[in-house]
Structure 1
């Protein structure tokens, strides 16, 4: 039998590509069936019963240069329909735009829950600004001896019954942490393309169903809305034990779980972020400022993440196109099936965000953007500009001297 020159080599290359496509398909089948059904969006606040006596709650809001969003968020906290004792502590973290004065003015105009505005000054070495502000707010709240602390960001708007539902869910389920992934704003073209994928990727890393299991290793929270039992905060030494964490919500959840706490995390129905991300640059900065910190500043983890993203998200469309071009049916079929599973698992998140389903096949492109953001996060870190946010740049945790 005669072979054309280069035929064996070409066949070997096609066979190798087919195997890569098959591995990508296998990865998607594993994600579909074995990763905690991360793609489902029906994890909402669990069954809850209202208590006979409502526990006291202190709401802590760290805020740095938030004057643009505060009028849309703070009044919603002050207007909470909560039957028990509750008050709000807004901690002005060195703002230069009049955030503190605006908060006081909003409280005078809108009334509602009592508001205290204070400032802790600049954070000492080893603390992120947000956690230093949270520490100050919790310290102020301690004088009221609350049973629960609600840690919520300054850009988060709550429906009037939000606090009531959070406390009822925590009491009914015996949870030490009840956290809601706030519905992020999706209005601009780039927000529609990137934001639902951000939540989808987060759920893939931290499947919500696993978090609620007692004794599970998976632990995470969404920093925009975290109801924390005060006793659990004491046991886990929150926030001192996570004072240098850039990704503070996940660090908080791990600390509480490590101290024997019971966690719950799910998607929100009536808790929303009012912060706009109109341009790709704004979303890029949001992701890249903490992506490399998520990888513990490890070049090996970075390389593995890049290869993993490429295998799982980029290979399917490339395999389909390549298989059709070279006439490899196996390659094309594996690529098509993997792409179909990928798009299918993304559909529930698009529906949750009320976005058109034709965005589902574009997930490989969005994943490619996230890959570039992750690499850029590492580049900025080694240039000394990693984890930069609102005028502050934070060192990697292991470069900060520990406290005795």
Structure 2
């Protein structure tokens, strides 16, 4: 019993530290920094990599074409070897809805050392060079933007000066319609913010760097200086790698929660969510067995021990076990409430966070198993078992 007492105490201390010392990650008030409209609106090119996205484009692409942006802007959609008629659907939507100019291009399979998405982004950025844009908006094909999204992103980036940001990213609000989405999706954002506290990312001089790949506004000159996307060509978790490359090149990064940028991709079943997480979880751990073991142990102590300690302590009549376990679970539940409020979900889901964390633990282990079986980060017919050899390619 003494060992259980110590483990429960360690879990409580861990939660008190997370509550107070991890950048207040649990708060959901990190939103686009307020800025006044610039006197001159800079030019923007929007790059959309799309692979087999015909099903979601009708809910997302018209929102990009309908952007109410006062400056020059156009959209470049890169059809990444789709087999479902993605390009044809995009053309039909542009003809039906009009709006910003749309250029659609197709490309073949990526060479060794490139992920498909980043290969598509590379071609999209190459197409924009003739326009000499001041900003690039990198957005996924499943992201729907409010009409003023581009305007607010550019205004938040700021004009030249010490207060400007070189990368402004919003974590799109994910869909939470099915029961599994409500259980798993808010926890995904919560865990991400715990790893990469948003307040630290935007702080000048901070080494913490991350972005949300669905919505990234990037200064074109900084992208060139940071060699985006060539410098991160093999990255499976490309948004975090992108932010690190920008910070490494001396740029300032801001990341926060979105208010009117939404993902329209459904994940109705647990299997859909499982594949979304497991395809990149082991890559996040740099394919390290030691980091995997540490992560599993950490998840168990931080998320699983509190309810178990409370139950064991109550059953054994041992307050030394029950009290720290109950307090740790209470702190955990309290820090999860703001995320549930952000997603408009009932607070009764908060005490279920240990169960959701257990699912993520299993997904992480499964990600490692898939990696060692050669299936790695499988996504839409492509598998990235491990970073492939990098080869230098001439610019397209």
State the TM-score, normalized to the length of structure 1.
0.96
1:155 aligns with 2:142: yes
SS of equivalent to 2:78: strand
Q: 1:113 aligns with which of 78, 100, 111?
A: 100
CA distance in 2, matches of 1:400, 1:184: 34
Q: How does 1:326-365 map to 2 (within 5 A)?
A: 326-365=316-355
1:49 aligns with 2:36: yes
Unaligned runs of 5+ in 2: none
Give the aligned partner of residue 324 of structure 1.
Answer: 314
CA distance in 2, matches of 1:120, 1:255: 25
Q: 2:176 aligns with which of 155, 161, 186?
A: 186
CA distance in 1, matches of 2:303, 2:353: 8
1:34 aligns with 2:21: yes
CA distance in 2, matches of 1:116, 1:403: 27
1:199 aligns with 2:189: yes
Q: How does 1:126-141 map to 2 (within 5 A)?
A: 126-141=113-128
Q: How does 1:73-152 map to 2 (within 5 A)?
A: 73-152=60-139
CA distance in 1, matches of 2:389, 2:8: 43
Give the aligned partner of residue 3 of structure 1.
Answer: none
What stretches of structure 1 move > 6 A for 4+ residues in a row?
none
CA distance in 2, matches of 1:178, 1:205: 19
Q: Cα distance, 1:120 vs. partner?
A: 2.2
1:385 aligns with 2:372: no
Give the aligned partner of residue 167 of structure 1.
Answer: 154
Q: 1:244 aligns with which of 234, 241, 244?
A: 234
Q: Cα distance, 1:162 vs. partner?
A: 0.2
Matched residues, number:
390
Unaligned runs of 5+ in 1: 1-13
SS of equivalent to 1:113: coil
Give the aligned partner of residue 389 of structure 2.
Answer: 400
State the TM-score, normalized to the length of structure 2.
0.98
Q: Cα distance, 1:131 vs. partner?
A: 0.2
**Residues 96-121 of structure 1: CA deviation (Å, up to 9, x unaligned):** 00000110110000000000000121
CA distance in 1, matches of 2:92, 2:328: 54
SS of equivalent to 1:284: helix
CA distance in 2, matches of 1:177, 1:272: 19
SS of equivalent to 1:23: helix
Contact 2:375 2:385 in 1 (8 A): no
Contact 2:234 2:390 in 1 (8 A): no
Q: Cα distance, 1:214 vs. partner?
A: 1.5
CA distance in 1, matches of 2:49, 2:326: 46
CA distance in 2, matches of 1:385, 1:181: 28
**Alignment root-mean-square deviation, CA:** 0.9
SS of equivalent to 1:219: coil
CA distance in 1, matches of 2:112, 2:391: 10
Give the aligned partner of residue 357 of structure 2.
Answer: 367
Q: Cα distance, 1:330 vs. partner?
A: 1.0
SS of equivalent to 1:267: strand
CA distance in 2, matches of 1:199, 1:396: 25
CA distance in 2, matches of 1:403, 1:105: 36
**Residues 249-306 of structure 1: CA deviation (Å, up to 9, x unaligned):** 0000000000000000000000000000000000000000000000000000000000
Q: Cα distance, 1:402 vs. partner?
A: 5.1
Q: Cα distance, 1:47 vs. partner?
A: 1.3
Contact 2:114 2:390 in 1 (8 A): no
CA distance in 1, matches of 2:273, 2:14: 28
Q: Cα distance, 1:171 vs. partner?
A: 1.4
